């Protein structure tokens, strides 16, 4: 009889921890446990959140009557920053866990997922993996070059969700992922636009290079940013917090919730209307930028992520980009299903997991 696997998925976000239990491909349970801003503010940095995040995971299992020893594998979203990765699975080992705890590499709460997962490896011998991490690097060489030789463009996109959705769209076209060119636009707290060219992400517009988002500032004038850096009003941390957490819609309108922005527009708020149109306008420009990387050879443009539920926003984007290729809307995120599915393929011997220590020749 074929073996069946119970898989725990761990996906820490900036203000929540997403958890899910799978039995093979079947999702048994999923939860999005919110962490209020007042709670997050108690912690001076991401690493100090570890005890709270761990307690959230174990409380989740206890609430569902599942013992940690009953888990057959862990699927953790997250990895250490500061380097690039191959697509697919990585085994979570002591080296990866230790790297996640270095302040320079712990730049996102996702970095805590491998640390928590490694407890199962250490205590129960349970295998743990991550899959299609944010910093998967499949860029064309020409896409890496910038105007300063010491600065190369880094790969950073919503790889896990966009690759999973891209495979789904390709199948709906009766083709394999490796047979299509898709512009994948992830709309969420962070936004990214990436070109999936014949099964590889050959170029992208990460949120730091592209449109502003609900709470991120996005691309800015070099001159203005330099002036802000040397204004004397900011430390490195406060400036990073401003650009990554207090920009975008939040800075303009006092909210990072698109539903609230649309309600403001419905009440006749002209400023909200202008800023929201600018959000769509900039996303559309990023999509156009990706279209030129294949000489306009694009099979579909795909809008995905949580904000793709917004008919107002997606409608504005479609109006601007539909001349490039037909637009497909796949709202929401398939991150947990993609995590569990990737790890399941490794457990079944259908894919081989990379090793973090053996792949150390891939610096960012």
Q: What is the pLDDT of residues 69-88, one digit of tens each?
A: 999 999 999 899 888 899 99
Does residue 150 belong to any structural domain of this protein?
no
Is residue 296 domain-resident?
yes
pLDDT attached to residue 364:
45
pLDDT value of position 156: 87
**Dist. CA 250–CA 252, nearest whole Å:** 6
* Burial class of residue 4 (count of CB atoms within 10 Å of its CB; 0-12, 13-18, 19+): exposed
Q: How many domains does the chain have?
A: 2
Residue 124 β-bridge partners:
none
Q: Are residues 299 and 349 in the same domain?
A: no
Same domain, 240 and 261: yes
Residues 173 and 114 in one domain: no
3-class secondary structure for 24-52? CCEEEEEEEEECCHHHHCCCCCCHHHHHH
Within a domain: 1: no
Please indicate, yes or no, if residue 228 is contained in any of the structural domains. yes
Residue 351's CATH number: 3.30.420.40
Same domain for 252 and 308, yes or no, is yes
For tokens 């007042």, the residue is 38
- Same domain for 354 and 316? no
- 246 and 121 housed in the same domain: no
Do both 305 and 174 map to the same domain?
yes
Residue 141, in any domain of the structure: no
Answer yes or no: do 81 and 202 share one domain.
no
How far is the C-alpha of 31 from the C-alpha of 91, rounded, in Å?
Answer: 25
The answer to whether residue 201 is domain-embedded is: yes
Structural domain includes residue 43: yes
Average of per-residue pLDDT values in the chain: 93
Helix (H) or strand (E) holding 131: strand 128-131
Range of the domain at 58: 6-135+336-359
Query: Mind listing the pLDDT tens digit for each residue in 208-260?
Result: 899 999 999 999 999 999 999 999 999 988 898 899 888 999 999 999 999 99
Element (H, E) at 200: strand 200-205
- Residues 193 and 299 grouped into a single domain: yes
Answer yes or no: is 146 within a domain.
no
Query: Would you place residue 360 in the very low, low, confident or very high pLDDT band (cuts 50, 70, 90)?
Result: low
| CA dist list (Å): 194 to 81, 84, 283, 290, 323 | 19, 16, 11, 7, 18
Dist CA 318 CA 322 (whole Å): 5
Shared domain check, 325 and 296: yes
Q: What's the predicted TM-score (pTM) here? A: 0.88
Q: Are residues 177 and 208 in the same domain?
A: yes
């Amino acid at each position: 009889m074929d073996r069946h696997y119970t898989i725990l998925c761990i996906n820490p976000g900036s203000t929540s921890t997403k958890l899910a239990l799978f039995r093979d491909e079947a999702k048994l349970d999923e939860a999005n446990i919110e962490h209020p801003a007042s709670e997050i503010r108690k912690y001076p940095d991401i690493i100090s959140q570890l005890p709270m995040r761990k307690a959230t995971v174990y409380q989740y299992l206890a609430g569902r009557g599942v013992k940690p020893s009953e888990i057959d594998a862990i699927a953790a979203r997250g990895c250490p920053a500061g380097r690039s990765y191959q697509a697919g699975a990585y085994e979570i080992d002591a080296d990866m866990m230790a790297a996640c705890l270095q302040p320079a590499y712990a730049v996102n709460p996702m970095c805590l997922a491998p640390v928590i997962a490694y407890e199962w490896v250490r205590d129960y011998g349970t295998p743990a993996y991550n899959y299609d991490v944010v910093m998967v690097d499949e860029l064309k060489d020409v896409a890496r070059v910038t105007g300063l030789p010491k600065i190369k463009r880094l790969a950073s996109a919503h790889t896990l969700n966009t690759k999973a959705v891209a495979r789904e769209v390709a199948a709906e076209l009766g083709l394999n992922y490796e047979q299509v060119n898709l512009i994948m636009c992830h709309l969420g707290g962070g936004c990214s636009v990436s070109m999936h060219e014949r099964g590889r992400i050959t170029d992208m517009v990460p949120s730091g290079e592209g449109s502003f988002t609900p709470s991120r500032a996005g691309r800015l004038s070099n001159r203005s940013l330099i002036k802000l850096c040397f204004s004397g009003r900011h430390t490195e941390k406060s400036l990073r917090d401003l650009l990554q957490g207090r920009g975008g819609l939040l800075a303009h309108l006092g909210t990072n919730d698109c539903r609230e922005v649309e309600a403001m527009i419905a009440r006749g708020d002209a400023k909200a209307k202008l800023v929201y149109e600018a959000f769509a306008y900039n996303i559309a420009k990023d999509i156009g930028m990706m279209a030129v990387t294949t000489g306009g050879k694009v099979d579909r443009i795909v809008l995905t992520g949580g904000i793709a539920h917004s008919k107002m926003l997606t409608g504005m984007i479609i109006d601007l980009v539909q001349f490039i290729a037909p637009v497909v809307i796949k709202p929401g995120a398939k991150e947990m299903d993609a995590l569990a599915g990737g790890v399941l393929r490794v457990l079944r011997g259908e894919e081989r997991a990379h090793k973090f220590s053996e792949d150390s020749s891939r610096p960012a």
